[in-house]
Amino acid sequence: MSERPILEKVGSVEFYVGSAKQWAFMHQKAMGFRLLGYAGPETGVRDRVSYLLEQGDARFIFTSFLDPDDFVGKHVHLHGDGVKDISFTVQDMDETVRSIEERKIIKPAKVQKIKSENGSILTSSIPTFGETVHSLVDLGEYESDLPPGFVEVQDDTKSKGIKRIDHIVGNVEEKRMDEWVNYYIKGLGFNQLMSFDDKDISTEYSSLQSKVVEYNNRKIVFPINEPAWGLKKSQIQEYLDYYKSPGVQHFAFLTDNIIDTVSKLKKSGIEFLKTPAAYYEDLEERVGKIHEDIDKLKELDILVDRDEYGYLLQIFSKPIGDRPTVFYEIIQRRGAISFGKGNFKSLFQSIEREQAKRGNL
């Protein structure tokens, strides 16, 4: 089997949403993404509109439908606004497809060559949990920063400090986490980074299990959650009930200055989960000395956790769309490679307060 990585990194992430224009506008104005391109009827795309945005290395495409009965329309009707495609860039499509086929778990779609005035790209795709897919994209000698079908848009939106996607979390059905972990490990050659069970992640009420897979020196990191039994409904089950299938739960965006990034995001209206004041009282006893001013972290609701390599700072948004499904995390790593296990309890209690407001706890 091929020793070289067959996947390079996450290319772009495509959401299917009810109004791509509004999602793009919100990500520009509130999240600090710069609009790069547009595709739609004006550019020769007849059935949909898409907006491509970028901040640091994070690239998002928001796509909406023009005909409610088409594929995108049906997806949005069933799932609400959500993530359809987490694409991977690849160096050599033939080698990637051959290598995936040799593993005999996943069958990639037939490779297609998409031509445009900027050259051609090769694409294929593989299915993953729920209706989510991974496009495989080989850019080859392609000469544009925009995918075929997109036209350039001028936009001077300033970054709010997001550098790239740190990890993308999937929620899958109860008792199916191991199946999906194996899909990535056996089907694509990912490695397992760590796992958590209900001893780590449970509150009085609800619980979940999680395993983390990574690829290519952690360029691609996917924690995968499944619901576990608690006294009341797991937040993962609430997600599954509203998304109507497994799917992407959250994106963690990496920043070098979480205080600055979160201050800007809050100022522009992004809503984050609250942290109880008590969390900060014994923070230094729990995580040791940190560079940041604890009063500032408290003011912004930023959480801190430490592992054997260092510490991390993180905060979680409320759901980004209408349904309690996909949300964002902002994370700054000062050495730590983990995901904030020490914060799970306070985080989940905070999520549960929101869940209770929705009458789902």
Which range of residues in 23-31, 111-119, 252-260, 352-360 is near Fe ion by CB under 5 A?
252-260
Instruction: Tell me the C-alpha to C-alpha distance, in Å, between residue 1 and each of 103, 151, 153, 307.
Output: 8, 40, 43, 34
3-state secondary structure 95-133: HHHHHHHHCCCCCCCCCEEEEECCEEEEEEEEECCCCCE
CB of 164 to Fe ion, least distance (A): 14
Nearest CB to Fe ion, comparing residues 139 and 193: 193
Residue with CB nearest Fe ion? 252
Distance CA 31, CA 38 (A): 18
Find the angle CA(139)-CA(140)-CA(142) to the nearest 5 degrees. 65
CB of 34 to Fe ion, least distance (A): 24
Distance CA 208, CA 235 (A): 8
Cβ atoms of 49 and 20 closer than 8 Å: yes
Of these, 26, 61, 72, 252, which contacts Fe ion (CB under 5 A)?
252
Which range of residues in 40-48, 214-222, 322-330, 348-356 is near Fe ion by CB under 5 A?
322-330
Of these, 301, 305, 329, 352, which contacts Fe ion (CB under 5 A)?
329
Interface with Fe ion includes 351 (CB under 5 A)?
no
Interface with Fe ion includes 301 (CB under 5 A)?
no
CB of 159 to Fe ion, least distance (A): 21
Nearest CB to Fe ion, comparing residues 8 and 305: 305
CB of 250 to Fe ion, least distance (A): 6
Distance CA 316, CA 326 (A): 11
Interface with Fe ion includes 221 (CB under 5 A)?
no
For 25, the enclosing helix (H) or strand (E) is: helix 20-29
CB of 273 to Fe ion, least distance (A): 12
Nearest CB to Fe ion, comparing residues 83 and 252: 252
Interface with Fe ion includes 165 (CB under 5 A)?
no
Which 139-158 positions form the footprint of Fe ion (CB under 5 A)? none
Give the number of residues in contact with Fe ion, rule: CB under 5 A. Answer: 2
Instruction: Tell me the C-alpha to C-alpha distance, in Å, between residue 171 and each of 155, 235, 282.
Output: 34, 10, 32
Nearest CA among 162, 166, 164 for reference residue 218: 166
Q: How many CB atoms lie within 10 A of CB 232?
A: 17
Which range of residues in 60-68, 151-159, 300-308, 323-331 is near Fe ion by CB under 5 A?
323-331
φ/ψ bin of 115: left (φ > 0), alpha (ψ from -120 to 50), beta (otherwise): beta
Interface with Fe ion includes 214 (CB under 5 A)?
no
Nearest CB to Fe ion, comparing residues 95 and 200: 200
CB of 11 to Fe ion, least distance (A): 20
Interface with Fe ion includes 224 (CB under 5 A)?
no
Which positions ≥6 away from 73 have C-beta within 8 Å?
65, 67
Interface with Fe ion includes 254 (CB under 5 A)?
no
Query: For 321, which DSSP code?
Result: S
List contacts with Fe ion (CB under 5 A): 252, 329
